[in-house]
Amino acid sequence: MSEDATIIDSGLASGFAAFESRDFTQAMRLLLQFADKGNAEAQHKVAIMYQNGLGVVTNDENAFKYMKLAAEQGDAIAQHGLGFMYMEGECVEQNFADALIWFKKAAEQDMLGSMTTIAMMYEEGKGVEKNQEIAQEWYKKAGF
């Protein structure tokens, strides 16, 4: 590994460690540069910090931007998070069709929470036509 790669890995690891230890100001300082360079996991963490005002002033536009960037790269947790943003109308205008698209992408990667959420959407008729049969299929996929 080159010296540059070691420094990058070290900075990224330090950013994740700061996030996990709840030093969000330091986490944002370290992770934002990696998020801007396209690291999906850094983008997801930065989105969470912007969404919840952790180490930075709450910024819905940036929270949505970074969550979507991570989700578009195939990060299942970010896809699930983006689905919730659309479903709840957090950081973006509520859109159940888009929520379902992102939950399904996460479910394709075995994200059980997304499978369960899809099941609940069909069970409750939340943004989709109520359909107990489809709901049961999704609950079964999720292991219920």
Q: Where are the domains positioned within the chain? A: 3-141
| Separation between Cα atoms, residue 81 and residue 79, nearest integer Å | 5
Measured between its terminal Cα atoms, the distance across the chain in Å is: 45
Residues 6+ apart with CB under 8 A from 133: none
SS (H, E, C) the chain: CCHHHHHHHHHHHHHHHHHHCCCHHHHHHHHHHHHHCCCHHHHHHHHHHHHHCCCCCCCHHHHHHHHHHHHHCCCHHHHHHHHHHHHHCCCCCCCHHHHHHHHHHHHCCCCHHHHHHHHHHHHHCCCCCCCHHHHHHHHHHCCC
Q: What is the mean pLDDT of each run of 10 residues along the chain (144 residues)?
A: 57 95 97 97 98 97 98 98 98 97 98 98 96 98 95
Q: Which CATH superfamily is domain 3-141 in?
A: Tetratricopeptide repeat domain (1.25.40.10)
In this prediction, residue 93 carries a pLDDT of 97
In this prediction, residue 3 carries a pLDDT of 47
Phi, psi of 2 (to 5 degrees): -75, 165
| Separation between Cα atoms, residue 18 and residue 29, nearest integer Å | 10
For the question of whether the overall pTM of this predicted structure is more than 0.85, the answer is yes
In this prediction, residue 9 carries a pLDDT of 78
